Structure 1
């Protein structure tokens, strides 16, 4: 980049096309999916890589229980007592079948919740954590907003098609993916969540010790693809078959969400869609390291002085990129990365080293994903009468 001339007075904006060396295959997006709504998400950044009606609000059945589980882990304790109430025991199948008044450890019941998807257990857990299902639903919606969900309204802890004054129990594929991303990437209880949801079988007793219960994990996708990490199925007559899951391959972690993915006699559609989305992510996206320019030339400082500067010389300072000099991004061959740089054409003295004088904005497919300040590389004082007098005196002595 050429020096920025001292007589230019305005701000300069330009774009740098950053070189990317993505080794991913050029692969077309998944074609026909059975799901009415589907997303593929990069779990590290939260970026949605593929979207089919991803913002459409739909019922999501027992995929709801991922949020019930993570809230119970964060707000409760494994040894906390949970008592099955009248409300809990009257929930429809699938249910644990505990009697009213029967009590358990919360830690055991979370296996019932996630492996077998028991509806009575979800209500019992919600009541133990918040006192009532309504209070727990409020906590669910607050957590969903905190995570970044924009179109989620949960009414039941088990995903049954309940309604309240604010509407039906619904979410979007995009929001559901955000919730699972939180569960496996951001929650302080993410390891506990993964341990529960990856367990094949679990047997536990009630606190009286007179009755045992066995649970088997029904997430068949855990054995369908290498790297399958976790997931949760769901079904109601309104929602159809639903699935939310995650897959890890080296540094890459993908999350998918599928809503309204077939009805009875189409139970396997969700596995076909899951395989298609994960396969697309694995083939099309690889991590690439982007390295940014560190120096953006020099800029004139009007009325500025530097050590050893003559009276007729102009002070100039380098403009340097502050912060990280490189960034890893999950990219496909179709992604376009640009660095939008805003620089001053001149500065007014005084200038302090490290002072922000411009910015570099990283754009991915036209959307801002990162901002780095550009700072002055030197301190420049302002000319004053004594400095000018001294320079004139020095010139006089040289005559």
Structure 2
């Protein structure tokens, strides 16, 4: 394996003030988590305690809806019908009438902006046939994302008879990060006020931080008396996208204060770093139909502590040569980012394209060409 060392001087973009992260300070909530949108954990407080998320549950409902949209199973114009059951939810709702139809676009708007419990169940029933089948999908998807403390019981976060949804701040952060991979959802979670039913029913966003916090993009608030005040708040500044999860805050004001403190901490202490792509030189390939393969980074940008970013060393660990066949996406090396001798990040390097092996005929011609050329 060959190793190349590149020193990246970040300069005035990042200010180095300390060798270690400062203290977060006390929070009001029982649990909290701060994650970069790429899934990197930036800060956690009691993040594995199982608590009730209330309507923050709907981030999973919206995630499954966006994934179905991306797969082409529905469109934003697909009409969703309110069943007797969906219309019986209670709590925050838009008062769907049994048999009433709204487009998926309006349903998503009602869920994201107005936290409509009836619409969340109507969408669940449309996508999976029944809410129970949809809940199975919710729990399966949570497990796929690495959520270890989550058990959904419905699509909206209300308590059931003898049941309640339980999750953790860490798990909600992971689900939120996955939802942010679908930027279209921000067209809904970032709405302050809007209407459905052709302008006849007004919606006001339950996430009041949209008006008070610079760069806020979403995502979802939640409250029931047993759960307390919860939020998954996403924000972006200077290319850095982060998610702050607050669970079981005593009051609305405490929820907002904690989310603000978490987001401020993230933007003050972390920044986006993009490893220099021009150092990824092609790797020679033996016995291939093409002579080289281009390494690619699985993640084009990473999040690092500002205090460690004054002088970064990027080390490439790549083979001298590869032997065909090489599959597209095959791991062929690693990029390591370090600062002051400490490894900050490791990034797998993969083959950007496939390289097929030469056939016997081509190898025979190459052999004779080499002989004659000699």
TM, length-normalised to structure 2: 0.72
1-structure distance, mates of 2:258, 2:308: 24
2-structure distance, mates of 1:104, 1:94: 17
1:281 aligns with one of 266, 269, 275: 266
2-structure distance, mates of 1:340, 1:55: 34
Alignment partner of 1:244 is 2:232:
yes
Task: State the match for 1:169 in structure 2.
Answer: 165
Q: Higher mean Cα deviation, 277-286 or 196-205?
A: 196-205
Task: State the match for 1:369 in structure 2.
Answer: 346
List aligned pairs for 1:229-378, cutoff 5 A. Answer: 229-262=217-250, 266-288=251-273, 323=295, 328-333=301-306, 335=308, 353-354=321-322, 362=336, 369-371=346-348
Alignment partner of 1:180 is 2:176:
yes
Q: Specify the SS of the correspondent of 1:162.
A: coil
Tell me the CA shift for residue 294 of structure 1: 7.3
Distance 1:145 1:198, change over 3 A: same
Task: State the match for 2:110 in structure 1.
Answer: 112
RMSD of aligned alpha carbons: 3.7
Contact 2:40–2:303 (Cα < 8 Å) also in 1 = no
1-structure distance, mates of 2:160, 2:307: 42
Distance 1:20 1:29, change over 3 A: farther
Distance 1:252 1:331, change over 3 A: same
Q: Which runs of 5+ in 1 are unaligned?
A: 1-10, 296-321, 345-351, 374-399
Tell me the CA shift for residue 35 of structure 1: 1.4
Which contiguous aligned blocks of 4+ residues in structure 1 show a shift greater than 4 angstroms?
Answer: 16-22, 289-295, 324-328, 333-344, 358-361, 363-368
Alignment partner of 1:35 is 2:38:
no
Tell me the CA shift for residue 110 of structure 1: 1.7
Alignment partner of 1:215 is 2:203:
yes
CA displacement, residues 104-134 of structure 1 (integer Å, 9 cap, x when unaligned):
2222122211111121222222112212110
Distance 1:131 1:371, change over 3 A: closer
2:191 aligns with one of 199, 202, 208: 199
Task: State the match for 1:380 in structure 2.
Answer: none
1-structure distance, mates of 2:231, 2:9: 34
Contact 1:115–1:215 (Cα < 8 Å) also in 2 = yes
Task: State the match for 2:372 in structure 1.
Answer: none
- Aligned residue pairs total 315
Distance 1:198 1:293, change over 3 A: closer
Tell me the CA shift for residue 136 of structure 1: 0.9
Contact 2:34–2:242 (Cα < 8 Å) also in 1 = yes
1-structure distance, mates of 2:64, 2:212: 28
Distance 1:220 1:25, change over 3 A: farther
2-structure distance, mates of 1:112, 1:359: 46
2-structure distance, mates of 1:91, 1:131: 17
1-structure distance, mates of 2:179, 2:348: 27
CA displacement, residues 338-391 of structure 1 (integer Å, 9 cap, x when unaligned):
8789899xxxxxxx84469x9656377668632459xxxxxxxxxxxxxxxxxx
2-structure distance, mates of 1:67, 1:343: 39
Contact 2:142–2:150 (Cα < 8 Å) also in 1 = yes
Tell me the CA shift for residue 18 of structure 1: 6.8
Q: Specify the SS of the correspondent of 1:109.
A: helix
Q: Specify the SS of the correspondent of 1:268.
A: helix
Contact 2:90–2:117 (Cα < 8 Å) also in 1 = yes
Contact 1:24–1:332 (Cα < 8 Å) also in 2 = no
1-structure distance, mates of 2:348, 2:213: 37
Contact 1:155–1:163 (Cα < 8 Å) also in 2 = no
Q: Which runs of 5+ in 2 are unaligned?
A: 69-73, 281-293, 325-331, 351-374
Distance 1:362 1:168, change over 3 A: farther
* Higher Cα Rg, which structure: 1
Contact 1:204–1:212 (Cα < 8 Å) also in 2 = yes
2-structure distance, mates of 1:328, 1:202: 34
List aligned pairs for 1:102-141, cutoff 5 A. Answer: 102-141=100-139
1-structure distance, mates of 2:116, 2:277: 51
